[in-house]
Amino acid sequence: NTEPPSELTRNTFVCCGLLVGWLVIWNPKMECLLGISFKDFVIVAADRTVAQSVLVMKNDEDKLYKISNKLVMAVSGESGDTTQFAEYIAKNIQLYKMRNGYELSPNAAASFTRRNLADYLRSRTPYFVNLLLAGYDDKSGPELYFMDYLASMVKVPFGVHGYGGFFSLSIMDRYHNADVSEQEAYEVVKKCVAEVHKRLIINLPNFRVQIVDKNGIRDLPDITIRSLSAGETSQSV
């Protein structure tokens, strides 16, 4: 005769089930953020896919948020958290500008963002978001900061979030050169996205791309499966 499972065993199974369900419903690694800093500008890209469990909800989400005139935040994670946290940071930085007459530098904005992540992490309402903060400082030039939901932060020449980073970091390391032109930098990002499309089983068809330099923030053409295919066709011809 088999004995019924103990209360501890049942609770263990319930906790394991909840954990597995949470990992399936929210997995920030299924998104992809890319960022590379160069001598005169920094370029960031983010996929535009929103997925819930095994379903794709939309392919035109904007995960790049304008924080100030020369500061962009790329955000991945829980859908509600990404929007609320990015808007909270953006509005507070705008409030700082109105009160003091000048904007926060990228380093100061990154420190402010990290402090808020750390404070909320120790509260009952943590934000499950991963960030790339790209900006241009009139004194020090372009800067790129990597942050995760545990509030760790580091300034990097290039950074990624998500499974796509497994295939992109080596490409960035191979082709990163501080003196490249904007078009060459865009081609490096295209190489990364092409590798994500080729190697990653998750469907991330569209990537939005922005560049930040001394003149502010500018949109570059989205990188899509169609645009990559068109580029390959023109090269073959």
Segment 24-36 shows an average pLDDT of 75
Segment 141-160 shows an average pLDDT of 97
Q: What is the pLDDT of residues 32-65, one digit of tens each?
A: 999 999 999 999 999 999 887 778 888 999 999 9
If phi > 0 it is left, if psi is from -120 to 50 it is alpha, else beta; for residue 222 that is beta
Segment 9-20 shows an average pLDDT of 59
Q: Label residue 3 by pLDDT band (50, 70, 90).
A: low
Q: Which of 187, 189, 186, 152 is nearest to 167 (CA)?
A: 189
Q: What is the pLDDT of residues 56-91, one digit of tens each?
A: 888 999 999 999 999 999 999 988 899 999 999 999
> Taking the model in full, what pTM does it have?
0.85
Q: Label residue 25 by pLDDT band (50, 70, 90).
A: very low
What is the residue extent of each domain of the chain?
28-236
Positive or negative, the CA dihedral 66, 68, 72, 76 is: negative
Residue 20 has pLDDT above 60, yes or no: no
Q: What is the pLDDT of residue 23?
A: 46
Q: What is the pLDDT of residue 57?
A: 87
Query: Residue 139 gets which letter from DSSP?
Result: T
CB 65 within 8 A of CB 73: yes
Question: Integer distance in angstroms from the first to the last C-alpha of the chain?
Answer: 74
In degrees rounded to 5, what are phi and psi of residue 32?
-145, 125
CB 214 within 8 A of CB 63: no
Higher pLDDT, 43 or 22: 43
Average pLDDT taken over every residue of the chain? 88
Residue 159 has pLDDT above 50, yes or no: yes
Which CATH code is given to the segment(s) 28-236? Answer: 3.60.20.10
Distance between CA 183 and CA 131 in Å, rounded?
Answer: 25
CB 48 within 8 A of CB 61: yes
Q: Which of 150, 184, 162, 156 is nearest to 63 (CA)?
A: 162
Segment 122-145 shows an average pLDDT of 95
